[in-house]
């Protein structure tokens, strides 16, 4: 299992924050968070700041905090910058290590035999493995959304290999 730094992501990067959680990063994200409170959380919780904001990055560096300044490019490029910035390449998505994209909770993997009955039976029959968030209770499985995230992950991996 790869040891991942805990992160705090700036308010502009909500979609990236959800993907970082799927990649298994403990990621604090709040769309209403102020710069000052993010810097405090980065320090007290030893989180690496991930931001597109040059000023915020500068403030973090002045306070001796770890910070990754992203370019304003595609999301896939941002993910590559985070993974190589943390020296974790090549990092792949492993659902057993993913966190809940909505709330950052830990996911527990369960077989379809004990998957919650709130998941329609037709889906429980088609998939072997389900992941349930310990915090918010949301269930995940490798459905159609999974195909999008795996092609995103394949794109990230290819770009990392070209670096």
**Which of residues 135, 145, 150, 151 is near Zn ion by CB under 5 A?**
135
Q: Euclidean distance between the first and final Cα of the chain, in Å?
A: 23
Under rule CB under 5 A, residue 108 binds Zn ion: no
Query: Can residue 100 be called a binding residue for Zn ion (CB under 5 A)?
Result: yes
16 in contact with Zn ion (CB under 5 A): no
CB of 133 to Zn ion, least distance (A): 3
**Residue that has been written with the tokens 């919780």 in this structure:** 45
In angstroms, the CA 112 to CA 27 distance is 28
Q: The dihedral of CA 131, 2, 45, 47: what is its sign?
A: negative
Determine, following the binding rule CB under 5 A, whether residue 40 of this chain makes contact with Zn ion: no
CB of 74 to Zn ion, least distance (A): 27
State phi, psi for 51 to the nearest 5 degrees. Answer: -150, 155
Q: Should residue 136 be labelled a site residue for Zn ion when binding is judged by CB under 5 A? A: yes
- Site membership for Zn ion, residue 132 (CB under 5 A): no
Return the number of the residue (58 or 134) whose C-beta is nearest Zn ion: 134
Entry field: residues in the chain: 163
* Spatial separation of the C-alpha atoms in residues 136 and 139, rounded to whole Å: 9
Residues that bind Zn ion (CB under 5 A): 100, 102-103, 105, 133, 135-136, 138
């Amino acid at each position: 299992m790869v040891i991942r730094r805990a992160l705090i992501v700036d308010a502009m990067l909500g979609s990236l924050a959800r993907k970082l959680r799927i990649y298994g990063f403990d990621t604090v994200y709040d769309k209403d968070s102020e710069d000052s409170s993010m810097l405090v959380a980065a320090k007290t919780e030893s989180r690496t700041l991930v931001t597109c904001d040059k000023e915020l990055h500068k403030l973090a560096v002045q306070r001796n905090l770890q910070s990754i300044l992203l370019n304003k490019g595609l999301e896939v490029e941002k993910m590559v910058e985070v993974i190589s910035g943390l020296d974790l390449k090549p990092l792949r998505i492993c659902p057993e290590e993913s966190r809940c994209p909505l709330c950052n909770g830990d996911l527990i993997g369960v077989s379809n035999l004990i998957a919650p009955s709130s998941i329609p039976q037709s889906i429980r029959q088609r998939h072997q493995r389900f992941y349930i968030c310990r915090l918010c209770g949301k269930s995940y499985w490798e459905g159609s959304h999974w195909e999008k995230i795996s092609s995103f992950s394949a794109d990230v991996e290819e770009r990392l290999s070209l670096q």
